[in-house]
Structures are given as C-alpha cells and as structure tokens.
Structure 1
Amino acid sequence: MAKLNYNHQRGEIKESVIKAMVTDPLFRTRIVKSKKGKGSYQRNEKHRKAVLKGESPFKNILVRFFLNGFFKSYYHHN
C-alpha cells in the first residue's frame, strides 16, 4: 500500500495526532452541489451578460415603451 504524506497546518502537535488532524483544514465541512438527481437543477439567469455589465435587463423594453408612447402622442396631436 502506498504511503501518503500530508503537511498539516497545525504547527507542533503536543497532545493527540487524531485531534490535530480532525481540526486541520483538510477535514473542514464542505458543501458539494449535486451534479445529478435531487437538488441538481441549475437555473440559467436570463440576460446574464447585461446583468454582469450593470445594465438593467428591462432597459430595452422601457426605452421602446417610452418611445412608442412619445411618438403616438406626438402624431395624435398634429
């Protein structure tokens, strides 16, 4: 059987090797996201590129809404 070496981050071990290893970052609690099965569904964010740039995802819709409203009112008055 191959012997594995691990450089622990606990400094000098005085009491128990097992206590030192269990409190080492090697044994920290990790949250693993399921790749398959229950809890694995990943929603893709709509308009991810625009959101990352800091723009509102509804920017184009709002611009169209206000422009259409402006032009309709302009043509109806003349």
Structure 2
Amino acid sequence: MKKSLSTSLSNEVIETEFGRGVIKDNALKAVVTSRLFRQQVEKAKKGKGSFSRKMKHKGQEPYSKAA
C-alpha cells in the first residue's frame, strides 16, 4: 500500500522567475546575473560605520551650515 504522492511530487518542476524572459544560451549565466543573486549592503552592528542617529536628529543640518 504505497502512496502515489511521492511520484507526483517528483514530476513537478519548480520554476523561479529570473526576470530574463526565455533563456536561450547559457542558463547558469542568466541565473547568476539575475536579480536573485544581487549584492546587498548590510549595516554594521558594531565597529566602524555602525553609528546610527536617533530619529529626532536625522536629516537636520548644524546651525552653522544652515545659516
């Protein structure tokens, strides 16, 4: 009494949208250069570049620059 569920799952193909349209030549190059593999800049939590101003002071210039 095996279930036929496992055979139906193996036939199903999962497709990922790469934003490339129809891939004709090099599928791996199309995948790597797609938006799926873009670089993201992460904000440092500690150390250099991690300072974060409080919301009430964000976007305000010092008095000497504004005058």
TM-score (norm 2): 0.50
TM-score (norm 1): 0.45
Give 1 or 2 for the bigger CA radius of gyration.
1
Does 1 or 2 have the higher relative contact order (CA < 8 Å, sep 6+)?
2
